[in-house]
Amino acid sequence: MHIETLAIHSSHHPDPATGSVAPAIYLSTTFARRPDGELISNFSYSRSGNPNRTALEAAVAELEGGSAGFAYASGVGAIFSVLQTLKPGDHVIAPADVYHGTRDLLKEKAGWGLSVDFVDMDDIEKVAAAIRTDTRLLLVETPSNPMLRITDIRSVVRLARAAGARVAVDNTWPTPLFQRPLKLGADYVVHSSTKYFGGHSDVLGGVVVAALEDETTQKMREQQWTFGAVPSPFDCWLVRRGLMTMPVRLRAQAESAGKIARYLQSHPKVSQVHYPGLPDHPNYAVAAGQMEGFGAMLSFQLDGGEFAAVRTAAGLRLFTQATSLGAVESLVEHRYRVEGKTSRTPKDLLRVSVGLEHVDDLLADLEGALRKA
């Protein structure tokens, strides 16, 4: 079945007891047993399992083509759970321009005994050179945040297999609509479901999907309730609801993003546009070979430097200046200022999350702000 159909019907059926078409929200923290002590259902206590969480996990696992899904209270929580399967002393390779929250997490874990190298993963030779005998995980983020660099997932998987390491791909930006890392050989997919899955800037969450049911997957399952960083039933319900319209929303948002990228590319005040759907993007061929679409995120740099970037963001009316991405409303952000002094992001760069407004209105808004910048 197609992703639009799965996004609606996976683990989503009318309630046999009431006929309710919309799923109920099971707020109960605990689940009753029969007089003999046997559980009535598969659920006993909500930290170890809850019907809303199970439905969400099963749906995301099916969309990604994996064996099991594990939902967390945030995307960073999901990435943390993958890192928790490693041992002190294990070596991890991550992208040099990885999402800064993931970078902070990896640095924190380095303090706990992981050793981490940040590498330009769009250059596969640099990835090959960084691999060591103790490398256990290659964490890929493609497109990367906020430079939209593309990593060749198939090549990373080939290198990882030869080294006995695993590959986790942060698939938050493309989602399974546009990219299926497990099909390309990755072991795990991680998501911030705060973004396109939820889609309405009103719920925080994360999901990991494992390709196979093996010892590490079992470890992850046990860790989920042992560490306890699980999302609430209502949050799971919201994300599961968001998932239903995700393919249709993201397809429309990506179409607008392509138009906006082409418009910005021809604008005299814009020095560079980062969008993998532009044929002159340095990794366009890799992107076209592993993505079904190029997503709704882009970034661009201005000739006038930091001042022009900040003025442009301030002059926009429809793009809200706010962190995060993937929702129905368009957002813009000066990442350097948000990331702080350790940021590697160019100071003249603005990152844009294209929403569901009419693209002509978004283009007019950009035109007005750039005129004044």
The CA–CA distances, whole Å, from 236 to 58, 107, 175, 206 equal 12, 29, 17, 10
Rg (CA), the chain: 21
What gap in Å lies between CA 204 and CA 128, rounded to an integer? 35
> Interface with ligand PLP includes 170 (CB under 6 A)?
yes
What gap in Å lies between CA 298 and CA 296, rounded to an integer? 7
Active site residue 341: no
CB of 168 to ligand PLP, least distance (A): 11
Closer residue to ligand PLP, CB minimum distance, 101 or 315: 101
What gap in Å lies between CA 62 and CA 47, rounded to an integer? 22
| Binding to ligand PLP in span 314-353, by CB under 6 A | 324
Closest to 335 (Cα-Cα) out of 147, 172, 201, 149: 147
Residues 6+ apart with CB under 8 A from 106: 83, 92, 94, 98, 114, 116, 118, 139
Active site residue 47: yes
Q: Point out which span in 111-119, 170-178, 212-220, 234-242 binds ligand PLP (CB under 6 A).
A: 170-178
Closer residue to ligand PLP, CB minimum distance, 99 or 294: 99
Active site residue 303: no
Please give the residue whose beta carbon sits closest to ligand PLP in the complex: 75
Active site residue 99: yes
Closer residue to ligand PLP, CB minimum distance, 145 or 224: 145
Closer residue to ligand PLP, CB minimum distance, 135 or 145: 145
Binding mask 48-87 for ligand PLP (x = CB under 6 A): --------------------------xxx-----------
- Strand pairing report for 297-302 and 320-321: unpaired
CB of 68 to ligand PLP, least distance (A): 20
Count residues near ligand PLP (CB under 6 A): 16
Query: Sheet harboring 297-302: ordered strands across?
Result: 270-274, 297-302, 349-353, 331-333, 320-321
Nearest 5 degrees, angle CA 257-CA 357-CA 142?
A: 30
Judged by CB under 6 A, the residue of 52, 81, 142, 172 near ligand PLP is 172
- Chain-centroid distance of CA 170 in Å reads 5
Binding mask 180-209 for ligand PLP (x = CB under 6 A): ------------x-x---------x-x---
CB of 332 to ligand PLP, least distance (A): 14
Closest to 342 (Cα-Cα) out of 130, 77, 106, 103: 103
> Interface with ligand PLP includes 99 (CB under 6 A)?
yes
Catalytic residues: 47, 99, 170, 195
Binding site for ligand PLP (CB under 6 A): 74-76, 99, 101-102, 141, 145, 170, 172-173, 192, 194, 204, 206, 324
